[in-house]
């Protein structure tokens, strides 16, 4: 069964760098990995205005597939802004060992079935992210790791991926 690991933090706190590091190192060790990124911008689209796929959607298509020699993308147009994370995970999980989630704090903070890594810029961000986030929290990383936070982290390891990245990889492997 695929394991889900959410990397939670504010913009600019180190989420992408953390996930990139983990994917790079774990895939070299033979893990098959997927990722899901939460985009907050309400008008975000991968579809380009005026392109064929955009025109298909404008004409009323609700699902559009783009197939190229090295990639397949399926665009599901939807009317509401509700996020069905479980549905996306189910569509993605086949053949994967790990799925990394970037963001989705409000959807997964209280869930005990999802491993979490918290990133933060500073003590204030860290406190905000820790408050209300349920275990299992594997580690704290991001910009705050270089600052050595002053707040209590209840025994959660604080890891600077630039100097201690292998430690984070091993912690994650031990939990999986």
User: What is the pLDDT tens value at each position of the chain, 176 positions in all?
Assistant: 899 999 999 999 999 999 999 999 999 999 999 999 988 777 777 778 888 988 998 899 988 888 889 988 888 877 776 778 888 899 889 999 999 999 888 889 999 999 999 999 999 999 999 988 999 999 999 999 988 777 778 889 999 999 999 999 999 999 88
**From residue 86, how far is each of 47, 110, 120, 128, 162 by CA, in Å?**
23, 15, 26, 25, 32
The answer to whether position 46 is within a domain reads no
The answer to whether position 25 is within a domain reads yes
The answer to whether position 72 is within a domain reads no
Domain of 132 in residue numbering reads as 3-38+80-175
pLDDT for the residue 77:
79
The answer to whether position 59 is within a domain reads no
Q: What is the 3-state secondary structure (H, E, C) of the chain?
A: CCEEEEEECCCCCCHHHHHHHHHHHHHHCCCCEEEEECCCCCCCCCCCCCCHHHHHHHCCCCEEEEEECCEEEEEECCCCCCCCHHHHHHHHCCCCCEEEEECCHHHHCCCCCCEEEEECCCHHHHHHHHCCCCCCEEEEECCHHHHCCCCCCCCCCECCHHHHHHHHHHHHHHHC
pLDDT for the residue 91:
87
Q: The CATH number of the domain where 120 resides is what?
A: 3.40.50.300
pLDDT for the residue 140:
95
The answer to whether position 133 is within a domain reads yes
The answer to whether position 43 is within a domain reads no
Q: Please count the structural domains in the chain.
A: 1
| pTM for this predicted structure | 0.87
The answer to whether position 74 is within a domain reads no
The answer to whether position 15 is within a domain reads yes
């Amino acid at each position: 069964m695929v394991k889900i690991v959410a990397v939670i933090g504010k913009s600019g706190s180190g989420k992408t760098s953390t996930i990139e590091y983990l994917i790079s190192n774990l895939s070299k060790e033979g893990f098959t990995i997927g990722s899901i990124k939460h985009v907050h911008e309400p008008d975000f689209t991968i579809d380009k205005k005026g392109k064929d796929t955009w025109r298909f959607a404008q004409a009323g298509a609700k699902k559009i597939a783009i197939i190229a020699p090295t990639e397949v993308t399926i665009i599901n147009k939807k009317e509401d802004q509700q996020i069905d994370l479980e549905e996306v995970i189910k569509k993605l999980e086949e053949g994967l060992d790990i799925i990394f989630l970037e963001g989705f704090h409000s959807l997964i903070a209280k869930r005990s079935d999802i491993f979490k890594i918290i990133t933060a810029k500073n003590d204030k961000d860290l406190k905000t992210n820790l408050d209300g986030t349920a275990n299992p929290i594997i580690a704290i990383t991001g910009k705050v790791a270089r600052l050595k936070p002053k707040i209590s982290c209840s025994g959660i390891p604080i890891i600077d991926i630039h100097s201690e990245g292998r430690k984070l990889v091993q912690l994650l492997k031990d939990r999986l």
